[in-house]
């Protein structure tokens, strides 16, 4: 890995802890729809009550498209370098780039990754692994525990941790009888040999916390064979009843990581927003936004007691080309006697109620894929004031590294 040097102004107020919350696929319209549904026209979600706000560009440098996938987007955030779609913490020349998680680990901090998707999927992978193609999920898992030595790993995708064809433990088969698809042997056994405690249910996670209040042992928690949900269009079998909530995983990770007096880095991803947007499934997309917002509330409660904590809420990219409109708006042009909104929007969903109101809203989808739209970013804590106006996703890396005083990436083989 190439060394890279980051300049720092060495602000007197340094972020000892960083909690980065990513709503996969969550654009401004997704957040606004969540606000209308849960908090109403005048209310605000917790993620939108943070004191600093801006917008972030997401375009990649893929020669075949300017629209990013999650691997390239997360790589830009994690390393400060734009790359090609599918690449995980590797630049367009094929060189590994140091990640913010690796820098935090080298500084003596503890580190954690959380996702409601496969924990080895593209977004979390870009913070703690280096592979040319995001599909190499077993290799990503191996790098988590053998190379990056991530202290807390919580999410789905257990099939990539067990050998190909091996039946998974019963508690991981709550939604389907999964068997392993791994290419790197039994990585759960390998994690245990490296000192990780393994949990596979909410009850086992609670028991871990009761026995290790001081965060004495690294933690691997896999709670589903694949994602925490079933992706589908509305009425075609889509389900999102997570085996462990994102808020509870966030709480468990913070309790474990905060035992380190040097501080910690934690990345939290809510992936149902993206997956349900791909299916133009607005009800479960909204559930994903609100699941993320509950995790933000957990992070904010911790920051009240630890003000040297930087909290950032953003997205890797926008998904669906979402638009929000009033369900009883008159057609344009406004003429007497106008009826229901004639949106002609692709895949229109709704109406949904606006909280504390007697009217509603509808949403429309322009695509089932990603777009190049900028995404909102909100933040609080040391360094948050730099995340205002218009920035690029690579600028976020610089801000996070400076806020945590991570001035140098150490070369690694």
CATH number of the CATH domain containing 187 = 3.40.720.10
* Structural domain span for residue 61: 4-322+365-409
Residue 345 lies in a domain: no
Residue 95: per-residue pLDDT: 97
- Residue 244's H or E segment, with its range, is none
Residue 347 lies in a domain: no
Count the domains in the chain. Answer: 1
Task: State the chain's mean pLDDT as an integer.
Answer: 91
Residue 56 lies in a domain: yes
Residue 342 lies in a domain: no
Percent of the chain with pLDDT over 90: 83
Residue 13 lies in a domain: yes
Does residue 122 surpass a pLDDT of 80?
yes
Residues 171-185 have pLDDT tens digits of 999 889 999 999 999
CA-to-CA dists, residue 181 to 157, 172, 194, 395, angstroms = 10, 14, 22, 37
Residue 340: per-residue pLDDT: 44
Residues 213-266 have pLDDT tens digits of 666 789 999 999 999 999 878 888 889 999 999 999 999 999 999 999 999 999
| Distance separating alpha carbons of residues 119 and 161, to the nearest angstrom | 10
Rg of the chain taking only CA atoms, in angstroms: 21
CA-to-CA dists, residue 207 to 45, 210, 356, angstroms = 31, 5, 40
- 270 contacts 70 by C-beta, under 8 angstroms: no
CB atoms within 10 A of CB 43: 14
Kindly report the pTM of this predicted structure.
Answer: 0.93
| Distance separating alpha carbons of residues 187 and 134, to the nearest angstrom | 18
Residue 99 lies in a domain: yes
Could you give the residue numbers annotated as active site? 70
Residue 179 lies in a domain: yes
| Distance separating alpha carbons of residues 377 and 267, to the nearest angstrom | 15
Q: What is the mean pLDDT of residues 206-211?
A: 92
Sign, CA dihedral 74-160-90-309, equals positive
Closest by CA to 372, choosing from 315, 324, 316, 317, is: 317
Residue 335 lies in a domain: no
């Amino acid at each position: 890995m190439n060394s890279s040097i980051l300049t720092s102004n060495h602000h007197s107020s340094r972020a000892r802890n960083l909690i980065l919350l990513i709503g996969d696929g969550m654009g401004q319209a997704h957040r606004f729809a969540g606000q209308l549904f849960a908090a109403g026209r005048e209310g605000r979600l917790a993620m939108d009550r943070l004191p600093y706000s801006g917008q972030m560009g997401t375009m990649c440098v893929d020669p075949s498209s300017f629209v990013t996938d999650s691997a390239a987007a997360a790589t830009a955030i994690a390393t400060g370098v734009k790359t090609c779609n599918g690449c995980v913490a590797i630049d367009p020349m094929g060189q590994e780039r140091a990640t913010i998680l690796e820098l935090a680990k080298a500084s003596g901090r503890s580190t954690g990754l959380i996702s409601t998707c496969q924990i080895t999927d593209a977004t979390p992978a870009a913070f703690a692994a280096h592979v040319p193609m995001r599909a190499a999920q077993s290799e990503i898992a191996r790098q988590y525990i053998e190379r990056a030595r991530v202290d807390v790993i919580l999410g789905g995708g257990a099939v990539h941790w067990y050998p190909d064809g091996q039946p998974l433990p019963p508690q991981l088969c709550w939604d389907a009888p999964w068997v392993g698809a791994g290419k790197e042997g039994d990585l759960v056994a390998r994690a245990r040999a490296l000192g990780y405690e393994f949990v596979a249910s909410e009850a086992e996670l609670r028991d871990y916390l009761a026995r290790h209040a001081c965060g004495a042992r690294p933690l691997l928690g896999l709670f589903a064979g694949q994602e925490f949900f079933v992706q589908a269009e509305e009425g075609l079998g889509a389900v999102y009843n997570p085996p462990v909530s994102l808020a509870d995983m966030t709480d468990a990770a913070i309790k474990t990581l905060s035992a380190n007096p040097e501080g910690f880095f934690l990345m939290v991803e809510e992936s149902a927003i993206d997956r349900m947007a791909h299916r133009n499934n607005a009800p479960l997309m909204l559930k994903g936004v609100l699941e993320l917002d509950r995790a933000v509330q957990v992070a904010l409660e911790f920051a009240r007691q630890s003000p040297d904590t930087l909290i950032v809420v953003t997205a890797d990219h926008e998904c669906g080309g979402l638009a929000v409109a009033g369900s009883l708006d008159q057609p344009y042009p406004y003429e007497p006697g106008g009826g229901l909104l004639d949106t002609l929007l692709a895949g229109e969903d709704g109406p949904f109620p606006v909280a504390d109101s007697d009217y509603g809203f509808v949403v429309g989808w322009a695509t089932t894929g990603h777009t190049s739209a900028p995404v909102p970013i909100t933040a609080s804590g040391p360094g948050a004031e730099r995340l205002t106006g218009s920035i690029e996703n690579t600028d976020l890396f610089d801000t996070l590294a400076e806020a945590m005083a991570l001035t140098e990436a150490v070369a690694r083989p």
